[in-house]
Structure 1
Amino acid sequence: MNNERNKLIPELRFPDFMNEGNWEEKKLGDFGRFFRGLTYSADDTSSKGLLVLRSGNIQNDTLVLDKDLVYVDKECADELKLLNGDIVICMSNGSKALVGKNAEYKDEYDGKITVGAFCSIMRPINKFTKYLLQSDAYQSFIALSIGGGNINNLKNSDLEEFKCYTSSSPKEQQKIADCLSFLDELITAHTDKLETLKTYKKGLMQNLFPQVGEKVPKLRFKEFEKEGDWEYLNGNELFDTISNKNHNSDLQILAITQEQGAIPRNLINYNVIVTEKSLESYKVVEKGDFIISLRSFQGGIEYSNFKGICSPAYIILRKKNENSENEFYKHYFKTDFYIRNLNRNLEGLRDGKMVSYSQFSEILLPNPNPKEQQKIANFLSSLDSLITEQADKIEQLKLHKKGLMQGLFPKVKA
């Protein structure tokens, strides 16, 4: 053991523990017991029964219990039934990025619940333990464990042997756990607020635009209450399809995403190699254009805040009518009823097949007074700003927690 390992002292330490001395090296197995998940077959699945969590239920360090759920008509050993404070760990997955991901079970489910065979349960001895599984040392260990070849699998014994570093003082461990738990609660509270804002916006959108078959929205700004019915036009009366390939391949390449619309690839680490020859066929996208993507029948039509180029596989739409506002349609194309309407017009469309311009054109689009369009767009965009601001707060809190953890745990060189 070299001198670096002999100095197991974190950069940040609570005043009460300044004189506690070095931290000590232990194995993760000293901090709890591990149980591999339940094996079941397709014949065991049911509409009710024992809930089995899988790797897909571990998202952003939390357990998702409202979608992608599997129930089995099968019993499991008592030790495999999740208890409050247990840690669910992804042990095997087609994607290496997911192996080792984990989340605490907080007794959120009122019923019998376990994990599938591609996951394990760690039953920790204290709250401090879960932060060992969030540390940089743990991330490095996972990367090394699955780094070679096509091995995307961990065994319980692998995790039990993980060398971690901890204070010998249970009180210091508890102090660290309390500090980080407070931050976790703050992040959760802000995340709940973010979801509330998103739900609020979604509800407003359902009322600020007419439902299918209606000519006026349920909610209308006072100054437009006497404007009468909204006008409806076919998609091709409002938007042209654009296929401009007049560029020198010097424009930024745009990725088309459901969450962020059209966005420069370098902003989302979208690393796909494109040859110079291929770039020649790419289409120019102007700021304010819309893009029909392969996933438009799932998530609507995307909007671009950037000028750039995109794959010729995409269909680019540009407004042709001066009496229409881009921002208005940016929101309208993301409403549930527009997406449902799009799907009704595309009966027989299968995943992987592009929505055509002619199919888009067949759908009637609302075209109210431009001032009313602008009012609705401004209102919804102001909500978007609040949502973005709230999401930024969450990211800042997560960065603060990450930095704090780097200080509260010793840095150890191999």
Structure 2
Amino acid sequence: MIMANNSNKNKCNVPHLRFPEFTEEWKKIRLDSFTERVMRKNKNNLSKLPLTISAQYGLVDQITFFNKVVASTDMSNYYLLKKGEFAYNKSYSSDYPWGAIKRLDNYEQGALSSLYICFAPKDNVETDFILQYFESPKWHKGVSEIAVEGARNHGLLNISVQDFFHTHHYMPKDKKEQAKIAKLLMFLDERIATQNKIIEDLKKLKSAIIEKLYSDIKGREYSYRQIFEIVNERNKQLEYLNILSASQEKGMVNREDLNLDIQFERSNINTYKIVKEGDYVIHLRSFQGGFAFSDKHGVCSPAYTILRPNDLLEFRYLSYYFTSQRFIKSLIVVTYGIRDGRSINVEEWLDMKTIIPSKERQHHIVETIRNIENKIENEEKYASCLSNQKQYLLHHLFI
């Protein structure tokens, strides 16, 4: 693959990045030139599979996706979508500012609300090519011609079906070039999926190791009150300006890393509680194992409870135990309320007992788990590189 030579003004309709054997200019055509609208109705509820569009996972079975039983509905007025056909969701988000287009790949057919725009590719285009094209930022150019900020209403883009199919797009005249571009990007998709599976399996392994290591602990029994001190040190001198937030997976993290707007909190940051390296923070979802470990200094919401361990504990030792199912189940006896309103009674929890092994054994457990965490972090970095590579290609392989 080489960079396209765009110095020739008579040959401007070519992508920035291109396979060297293709030199012909791309053509500008309307969406209805290479797709046709699908409006077949799901008569007599021929398909009983209700579909929904997920920006991340594509066209999926909404019963499985939402993990709940969907009430029996007459879907005879829904569209009957078949494998290989596409659907456009006009709902916008930061990742899909002009809505998401997805292809039905995992089922032979399904029923989709007629609120969506459905279409099928014609024979003059490689379906995998347009699948990738609709993931690229380039297709926004065509849609943005007919959609403006003021047209947005209740999270939907105000785009008519006719205008949608009249949008203009560039694509290679040669289907071989379409196929080659699609093959490259599909291969990268497969590698990204494999990498994500590696990470998922490593996380499952980590959880299994945690459950095993903390299931057969030998040592001395202590109450949590003998291990922790509740501290309420306030940030009165504005010693810290970085606000920490509790994360189920990462412990205490800088709120800025979560891309949340924290400007409104600056005026009362002096009332926030100081969190020091090695502290544990009980946050609002404590009944789900919300005991977040902090490996950094900062401040957090006054609503959180800060626990500072004494020298009975090795650094980070209980952080893994607090994420285990064994520990979460133990919280039932000190948990009150219903659903997401539940919280634990901290004073009662402090009187609960736990076994603490020797410092040497604690260190061994921490190092064992840290090793697999480092492996996960390295695999996540590689996954990020693959994702960045995909985004780069999506940006430069299309016009």
Q: TM-score, normalised by structure 1?
A: 0.79
* Alpha carbons of structure 1 residues 371 and 344: separation in structure 2 relative to 1, 3 Å: same
Residue among 25, 29, 36 paired with 2:28: 25
> 2:233 aligned with 1:244, yes or no?
yes
Structure 1 residue 247: deviation in Å?
Answer: 4.5
Residue 285 of structure 1 aligns with an amino acid whose one-letter code is: V
The 10-residue stretch of structure 1 (384-393 or 27-36) with the greater mean CA deviation from structure 2: 27-36
* Alpha carbons of structure 1 residues 290 and 115: separation in structure 2 relative to 1, 3 Å: farther
Structure 2: stretches of 5+ with no match in the other structure: 1-7
Q: Partners in 1 of 2:156 and 2:214 — Cα distance? A: 49
- Match of 2:354, SS? strand
Structure 1 residue 389: deviation in Å?
Answer: 1.1
- Aligned equivalent of 1:147: 149
* Alpha carbons of structure 1 residues 326 and 60: separation in structure 2 relative to 1, 3 Å: farther
> 2:324 aligned with 1:335, yes or no?
yes
- Aligned equivalent of 1:130: 131
Deviation readout 1:301-348 (Å, 9 max, x if unpaired): 21222211111111111112x121242211111112322322442142
- Aligned equivalent of 1:408: 397
Q: TM-score, normalised by structure 2?
A: 0.81
Q: Partners in 2 of 1:272 and 1:308 — Cα distance? A: 14
Q: Partners in 1 of 2:255 and 2:204 — Cα distance? A: 29
Residue 361 of structure 2 aligns with an amino acid whose one-letter code is: E
> 2:221 aligned with 1:185, yes or no?
no
Q: Partners in 2 of 1:395 and 1:118 — Cα distance? A: 35
The two structures, once aligned, show a CA RMSD in angstroms of 3.4
- Match of 2:49, SS? strand
Contact 2:129 2:181 in 1 (8 A): yes
- Aligned equivalent of 1:233: 222
Correspondence 1:94-109 to 2 at 5 A: 100-107=99-106
- Match of 1:255, SS? strand
- Aligned equivalent of 1:226: none
Contact 1:50 1:73 in 2 (8 A): no
> 2:347 aligned with 1:346, yes or no?
no
> 2:387 aligned with 1:390, yes or no?
no
> 2:346 aligned with 1:357, yes or no?
yes
Q: Partners in 2 of 1:4 and 1:359 — Cα distance? A: 77
Contact 1:255 1:265 in 2 (8 A): yes
Contact 2:227 2:312 in 1 (8 A): no
Deviation readout 1:76-126 (Å, 9 max, x if unpaired): 469944543344543337x6766723444432x5x8643456655443341
- Match of 1:288, SS? coil
Correspondence 1:5-24 to 2 at 5 A: 7-18=12-23, 20-21=24-25, 23-24=26-27
Contact 2:272 2:302 in 1 (8 A): yes
Correspondence 1:151-230 to 2 at 5 A: 151-154=154-157, 157=161, 159-210=164-215, 216=216, 229-230=218-219
> 2:252 aligned with 1:262, yes or no?
yes
Contact 2:235 2:271 in 1 (8 A): no
- Match of 2:316, SS? helix
* Alpha carbons of structure 1 residues 359 and 141: separation in structure 2 relative to 1, 3 Å: farther
Structure 1 residue 12: deviation in Å?
Answer: 1.0
* Alpha carbons of structure 1 residues 339 and 90: separation in structure 2 relative to 1, 3 Å: farther
Q: Partners in 2 of 1:113 and 1:61 — Cα distance? A: 13
Q: Partners in 2 of 1:4 and 1:153 — Cα distance? A: 39
Q: Partners in 1 of 2:136 and 2:280 — Cα distance? A: 42
- Aligned equivalent of 2:273: 283
Structure 1: stretches of 5+ with no match in the other structure: 211-215, 218-228
Q: Partners in 1 of 2:41 and 2:213 — Cα distance? A: 48
* Alpha carbons of structure 1 residues 305 and 103: separation in structure 2 relative to 1, 3 Å: farther
* Alpha carbons of structure 1 residues 358 and 64: separation in structure 2 relative to 1, 3 Å: farther
Correspondence 1:310-325 to 2 at 5 A: 310-320=300-310, 322-325=311-314
The 10-residue stretch of structure 1 (144-153 or 304-313) with the greater mean CA deviation from structure 2: 144-153
Residue 31 of structure 2 aligns with an amino acid whose one-letter code is: L
**Taking every aligned residue pair, what percent have the same amino acid on both sides?**
26
Structure 1 residue 179: deviation in Å?
Answer: 0.9
Deviation readout 1:3-57 (Å, 9 max, x if unpaired): 9998221111111112x12x22223333334558999xxxx9xxxx9332334x4
Contact 2:236 2:271 in 1 (8 A): no
Structure 1 residue 251: deviation in Å?
Answer: 2.7
* Alpha carbons of structure 1 residues 198 and 161: separation in structure 2 relative to 1, 3 Å: farther
Q: Partners in 2 of 1:5 and 1:63 — Cα distance? A: 45
Structure 1 residue 176: deviation in Å?
Answer: 0.7
Structure 1 residue 281: deviation in Å?
Answer: 0.3
